[in-house]
Chains A and B, each alone.
Chain A
Amino acid sequence: MEEPAQKNDNPDEKSLEAQRKSQYSRLFRRFILLTIVCSLVPLLLVGWGIYMNYTRFANSRMINSFQTQVAHHRSIIELFLEERSSKLQLIANTHSLDHLVKVSNLNYIFEMINQEYQSITDLGIIDERGNHLAYIGPYDLMDKNYSQALWFKEVMAKGIYISDMFMGFRKEPHFIIAVTSPGKKKWILRATIDTEAFRSLVENVRIGKTGEVYLVNQQGIFQTSPRFHGKIMTKAPFPVEPIHEGIKVRILKGITDDRNQNLPRQVVSQTWLKEPRWMLVVKQDFSEAFTDVNHANYATLIFLHLSALTILIVSILITRYMITIIKKRDIETDELNNQLMQAGKLAAIGELSAGVAHEINNPLAIVLTERQILLDMMDQKTYHDLDFKKQILDSMSQINVQIQRCKRITQNLLRFARRTKPIIETVNLNAFIEEVTELMEREARTSGIKFFLDLDENLPPLLSDPSQLQQVFLNMITNSIDAHEGKPYGSIQICTRSDEQNGGIQVELTDTGSGIAPENLSKIFDPFFTIKPVGKGTGLGLSICYSIIKRLGGNITVKSEVSIGTKFTLFFPYKPPPDLLENIPSNDEDIEAYFHINSKRRD
């Protein structure tokens, strides 16, 4: 009956273990997920916030810097044109036509203008019909008539005019500034601006590796050559915006133009000049303009990744640590539960045994008296049949033997159930063990067993119940001796050590007996569990020991190997549990001395 039950035990334990394992791994995953979510979400939010704020800040700074640059360039260009326009205006206002048409005079003025630096290429006086009256310059333009030219019409209407770039009679890009004279009879002072000087003003501006600055007129014709894409006097590849005040900064998406060239994303800022209506454009590749921002963003990204990695590693480590603690706790809980179960079992059995013992003792007493009555009667009579008398006497003595056996059992049962208050005294455990072994030595010798005592000389005395301790050691040693059955000789070693860490004494009882099978190891403290032959043991010895040791606040553990031996480790605290301390008889000098010694030890 028992075997299948045992076989069922193991798979149960295994499945329980597997269940625990999967529980732990589930717990592990859940913890990791939770810690990661709890720490990564805020991290990402913070990262995203930093990124957004920084990008906005950097963008606005970049745009500001672009605006400043454009404003700066515009003022340079406008200053250049204004200076030349006002010079011409001044000449037209302060000189008479008669004076100016004289070539020597005009030449003088031309040279004066160009004295500091090459500023204009030529200078001409034109009458209101569009004919040259005088001309100083490298070209032969005296016979040209401008009455149909756009600039001529414009200047006649407005009084001052700055033209767009045009090819004109010279077949090369140039532009002119023309002003009309005050007074009724109008004439025009016209100068061709030194294109080289003007273009260098714009084209030589370098902004980083990809930056370019150029001018476009209202029709979208380049007025200067851009650094990269396009040439002066050609059409710009993008539409021109309507005239607006102030400076606009835009970010153009990367496109592929009609010549299949990839134009990257660019930052473009533009503004319209007042006169002439040209648009100043400053461009730079987005990537270059925003290098610093991008760097900062990369750094943030790396930082975020590193933080996430750190969090991951830390959460794995913490979770592992926590799981280890939980596992440990679970094991401790299991042990406690086992102990509780054992204690519960013992208590239940205790209740039962007290009742059973009492009920059996009374009939036993009657049987014993009946036997005595029979014996008394036999004493009074004389029997001739001696065999019959002998038989009767044998039976009587056998009845007595069996009654005594029953009595022993019931006494054991009662002792097991005994709720007697222990009497606490100081006990010198070494001397105590020596006494007990002396008592057992005769029995041990007949079984060929020797005692070896390894007693700690500095063992402090302990407070305990000597009669219960005696029962424990007698039981344990009897068991150890019985464990040698079938072996011709053996040994029992008893070793005492003080265990300061737990505040008590540790006793190791090692025998060379036949050992306990692993499947029985968990049951040896159960009441009525015995592997001794029928009639030899009640199966109560070890469970009595167990309950006594527990009651005295101690502990007992066992390790065993089949056919090699068994080692019981007993622990007794220096002081019994508080509820037992009440049982110290008053005016016990020994105990007062004990407390005195122990308080000194603690000091």
Chain B
Amino acid sequence: MKRAKILLVDDEVVFTNNVSRLLKTRGYRVTVVNSGDSAIKILEEENFDVVVLDLKMPGMDGITTLKELKKLGLFTETLILTGHGAIDTALEAIKLGAYDYLTKPCEIDGLVDKIEGAWEKKDEDEKEDIQKKISKAIESPRSVYSESRRKREKV
């Protein structure tokens, strides 16, 4: 069974290592970064299904990272993991488009549940998008063509 590809963003190195190990044991493909900047960098190059994001980090904090990530327009769901407990910040993150939030310390099973949920949503969104594109192509094939050309030019 295919497991989700996960990007883990947290400044606590021991924590990210441990969680990465636990998730890998459970069959996920996990990449770890320890700052918001590196997260954005790696996301520009690579696709991930779910990003697990800490809110309080030195440098670029979680909320900013989330905003930057959203700008990239990727099919990725974000899961907020915070030790801060500032629920209002987590809620803000959800308003910005994060899938859900978890507070530290959390059980690995809880994290896995949320990751599964996020992954499922990401898949659904992707499918929906493809369907939209197909129906659009049927209605006016030209626009799809021009859009794909625009994208190609951009790249």
Contact = CB atoms under 8 A, between A and B. Distances in A.
Nearest 6 CB-CB pairings of A with B: A369-B18, A365-B104, A361-B83, A414-B85, A365-B105, A364-B105
A357 B18 contact: no
B22 A362 contact: no
A358 B19 contact: no
A407 B103 CA distance: 10
Given A364-B104, A373-B21, 7 more contacts: A358-B56, A358-B85, A362-B104, A367-B105, A369-B19, A411-B103, A418-B87
A421 B56 CA distance: 20
Nearest to A414: B85
Contacts of A418: 86-87
B113 interface: no
Nearest to B20: A369
Most chain A CB within 10 A, of B14, B86, B105, B108, is at: B105
Contact of A368 (B21, B86, B105): B105
Contacts of B108: 368-369, 372
Contact of B15 (A365, A411, A419, A420): A365
Nearest to B54: A362
A215 to B, nearest CB: 119
A419 B88 contact: yes
B84 A358 contact: yes
B54 to A, nearest CB: 9
A85 to B, nearest CB: 130
Interface string A411-444: 1001000111100000000000000000000000
A361 B104 contact: yes
Contacts of B12: 362, 365-366
A145 to B, nearest CB: 148
20 contacts: A361-B83, A361-B103, A362-B12, A365-B12, A365-B15, A365-B104, A366-B18, A367-B105, A369-B15, A369-B18, A369-B19, A372-B108, A373-B22, A376-B22, A403-B105, A411-B103, A414-B85, A418-B87, A419-B88, A420-B87
A373 B108 CA distance: 10
Nearest to A369: B18
Interface of A: 354, 357-358, 361-362, 364-370, 372-373, 376, 403, 407, 410-411, 414, 418-421
B25 interface: yes
A380 to B, nearest CB: 9
B106 A365 contact: yes
Contacts of A420: 87-88
B18 A373 contact: yes
Contacts of B107: 368, 372
Nearest to B26: A376
Contacts of A370: 18
Contacts of A366: 12, 14-15, 18
Contacts of B85: 354, 357-358, 361, 410-411, 414
Contacts of A411: 85, 103
A420 B89 CA distance: 9
Interface string B134-150: 00000000000000000
A361 B12 CA distance: 12
A492 B104 CA distance: 36
Interface string B106-126: 111000000000000000000
Contacts of B56: 358
Interface string B1-32: 00000000000101100110110010000000
B82 to A, nearest CB: 8
A366 to B, nearest CB: 5
Contacts of A368: 105-108
Contacts of A357: 85
A161 B82 CA distance: 142
Most chain B CB within 10 A, of A357, A364, A365, A414, is at: A365
A354 B56 CA distance: 13
Nearest to A407: B105
